């Protein structure tokens, strides 16, 4: 049986992430990891904060903090939010770790030995006031296309046009604000991707056949356009330093590796960080080196696809070492806010910290996965969110749990009633539940999250249909033993829901599970036979009625949310 390695794109360090970041990588990875563990597979879910690069230095400067202090604080802040969302990372590391520095430098040395790194002279903007070369993002000015006066040297955020620093009008240093700039010659390391194009094409041809169209089409588009040699060093104070034993001159100048060179290596680095916590029982290298028994699945939004399907595989291939490469890339489109982009820099949309202030994590987890932007972009609106929560979570699942347990306790006491033996209605229900469970499992195995959510919702709906048909509140008047059977069957459905819903709504699943004082209840999944028989919770089992699982979102709530976060009128 294969071991499963799971990674989600590293969240960048410069601020709290929005819901689009959550649904585009970390949350679906968590749902999948939870499902694999529940169904008996060995799964390792690795993530980390991406801490190097120009934006980290600029964000630290804006916060008035040393960059290492800023990154440490932001790592802890992000980790607390992900804990709040119930993300079950096996390890959440940092790309600034010693482990990542060591492995990144190893990769660079191997690429150099194999002829895939070349030192080249380029012309770059130098700030006399700052006494340093400026990366493109350290240069700001007025965009020549739209007139935006805070455009960066690599791109104008206002009109999205790609720029060169020399395109900017009134260019100035983002550090000092000085416009005393000149162009000088400097040296950088280039990864010779052009020499690796054929190998990358062959690898994608072999391994990318089963990837979603979104991932495979982006990868092939980049290959069709041709892989260009890419500068992999920058003039920054913060990053993985170029090793002095290989490039003494560049190391003396303080060059560091480009963030997109070292960030994917952190998947390996974080796995080593994870192993360091228990080195006697954890072997990090077996997950990454000569790891033929590992199936590696990556989760990311579509803008990260080129780096993970082309650039990082090229780096791994160029080392001429047997590093594990991705087997399956699950890519997502955008989640929009009323049709407009979420924006970290412009603070547009709902951010994960604010989301948890408004409602518990399970409300967000379920909505986001049920509406995951898999085949196309999905739009978040408060109206759609409220309708989904109220219909699926409050009415279909929460109300079922509450009325079954409350009615049974009122009429039969605090133990599961015995009643009649299962009849035709229960046999039909069991058959239906087994079929829906198989459908749910199939969609989860195939990483079709919206379809899995539909199957899960259908499982909940089947219980409601059974309850409405049997109507134990009427049945008890003429056939108390029949009503007891209905309630016992419904309680078995609640137990089943607690298990199979756990990947989507772990906190609510735990509340459902704990309602039953069932000795030796260590089941992590439900077999087809158990689903058909619905006899896991026997008569006589003590139970309690949990608090209301999901409160409905009212019109007053919606008005308050729109006032706080805005609606369609400012999501442009």
Q: Which residues carry a binding-site annotation for Zn(2+)?
A: 143, 146, 156, 159
At residue 328, what are phi and psi to the nearest 5 degrees?
-145, 130
Strands 43-49 and 91-94: parallel
Report how far residue 244's alpha carbon sits from residue 241's, in angstroms, rounded to the nearest whole number. Answer: 8
Give strand pairing partners of 5.
Answer: 44, 296
Going by the annotation, the residues of the binding site for ATP are 344
Structural contact between residues 90 and 66, judged by C-beta atoms closer than 8 angstroms:
no
Count of all residues that appear for the chain in the document: 572
The residues near 5 (Cβ < 8 Å, ≥ 6 apart) are 43, 44, 46, 287, 288, 291, 294, 295, 296, 297, 324
Report how far residue 108's alpha carbon sits from residue 191's, in angstroms, rounded to the nearest whole number. Answer: 9
Q: Tokens 């209605």, residue?
A: 425
Q: DSSP per residue over 95-151, as a string?
A: TTSHHHHHHHHHHHHHHHHTT-EEEEEEEEEEETTTTEE--GGGEEEE-TTT--TTE
Closest CA to 398 of 278, 310, 497: 497
The residues near 213 (Cβ < 8 Å, ≥ 6 apart) are none
Q: Is 20 exposed, middle or buried (0-12, 13-18, 19+ CB in 10 A)?
A: buried
The residues near 519 (Cβ < 8 Å, ≥ 6 apart) are none
Structural contact between residues 296 and 287, judged by C-beta atoms closer than 8 angstroms:
no
Going by the annotation, the residues of the binding site are 143, 146, 156, 159, 344
Structural contact between residues 28 and 212, judged by C-beta atoms closer than 8 angstroms:
no
With H, G, I as helix, E, B as strand and everything else as coil, classify residue 90. coil
Helices assigned H by DSSP within 12-134: 19-21, 27-38, 54-63, 67-84, 98-113
Eight-class DSSP state of 245: T
The residues near 322 (Cβ < 8 Å, ≥ 6 apart) are 289, 290
Other Cβ atoms closer than 10 A to 386: 20
- Phi/psi region, residue 339 (left: phi>0; alpha: psi -120 to 50; beta: rest), is left
């Amino acid at each position: 049986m294969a071991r499963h390695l799971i990674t989600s794109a590293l969240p960048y360090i410069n601020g709290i992430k929005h819901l689009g970041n959550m649904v585009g990588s970390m949350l679906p990875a968590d749902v999948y990891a939870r499902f694999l563990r529940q169904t008996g597979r060995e799964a390792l879910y690795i993530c980390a904060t991406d801490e190097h690069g120009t934006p980290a230095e600029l964000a630290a400067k804006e916060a008035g903090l040393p960059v290492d202090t800023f990154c440490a604080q932001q790592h802890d802040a992000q980790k607390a939010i992900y804990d709040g969302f119930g993300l079950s990372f096996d390890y959440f590391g940092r790309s600034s770790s010693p482990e990542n520095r060591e492995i990144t430098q190893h990769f660079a040395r191997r690429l150099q030995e194999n002829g895939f790194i070349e030192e080249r002279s380029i012309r770059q903007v130098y700030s006399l006031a700052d006494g340093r070369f400026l990366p493109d993002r350290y240069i700001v000015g007025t965009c020549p296309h739209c007139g935006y006066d805070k455009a960066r040297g690599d791109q104008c955020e206002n009109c999205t046009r790609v720029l060169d620093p020399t395109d900017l009008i009134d260019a100035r240093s983002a550090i000092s604000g000085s416009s005393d700039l000149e162009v000088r010659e400097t040296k950088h390391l280039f990864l010779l991707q052009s020499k690796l194009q054929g190998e990358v094409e062959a690898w994608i041809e072999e391994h990318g056949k089963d990837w979603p169209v979104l991932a495979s089409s982006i990868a092939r588009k980049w290959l069709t356009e041709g892989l260009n040699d890419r500068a992999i060093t920058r003039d920054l104070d913060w990053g993985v330093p170029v090793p002095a034993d290989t490039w003494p001159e560049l190391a003396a100048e303080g060059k560091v590796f480009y963030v997109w060179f070292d960030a994917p290596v952190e998947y390996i680095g974080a796995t080593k960080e994870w192993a360091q916590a228990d080195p006697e029982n954890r072997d990090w290298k077996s997950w990454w080196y000569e790891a033929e028994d590992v199936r590696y699945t990556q989760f990311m939004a579509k803008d990260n696809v080129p780096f993970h399907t082309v650039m990082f595989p090229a780096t791994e291939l160029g080392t001429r070492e047997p590093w594990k490469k991705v087997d399956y890339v699950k890519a997502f489109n955008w989640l929009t806010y009323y049709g407009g982009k979420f924006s970290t820099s412009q603070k547009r949309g709902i951010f994960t910290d604010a989301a948890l202030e408004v409602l518990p994590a399970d409300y967000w987890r379920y909505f986001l996965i049920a509406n995951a932007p898999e085949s196309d972009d999905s739009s978040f609106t408060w109206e759609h969110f409220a309708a989904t929560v109220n219909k699926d979570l409050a009415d279909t699942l929460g109300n079922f749990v509450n009325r079954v347990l409350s009615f049974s306790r009122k009429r039969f006491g605090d133990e599961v009633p015995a009643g009649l033996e299962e009849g035709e209605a229960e046999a039909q229900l069991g058959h239906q539940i087994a079929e829906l469970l198989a459908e749910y499992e199939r969609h989860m195995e195939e990483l079709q999250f919206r379809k899995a959510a539909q199957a899960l919702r259908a499982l909940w709906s089947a219980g409601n249909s059974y309850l409405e048909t049997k109507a134990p509140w009427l049945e008890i008047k003429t056939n108390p033993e029949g009503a007891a059977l209905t309630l016992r069957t419904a309680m078995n459905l609640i137990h089943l829901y607690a298990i199979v819903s756990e990947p989507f709504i772990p906190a609510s699943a735990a509340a459902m599970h704990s309602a039953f004082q069932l000795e030796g209840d260590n089941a992590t999944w439900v077999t087809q036979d158990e689903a058909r028989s619905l006899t896991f919770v026997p008569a006589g089992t003590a139970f309690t009625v949990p608090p209301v699982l999901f409160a409905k979102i009212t019109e007053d709530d919606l008005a308050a949310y729109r006032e706080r976060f805005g609606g369609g009128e400012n999501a442009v």
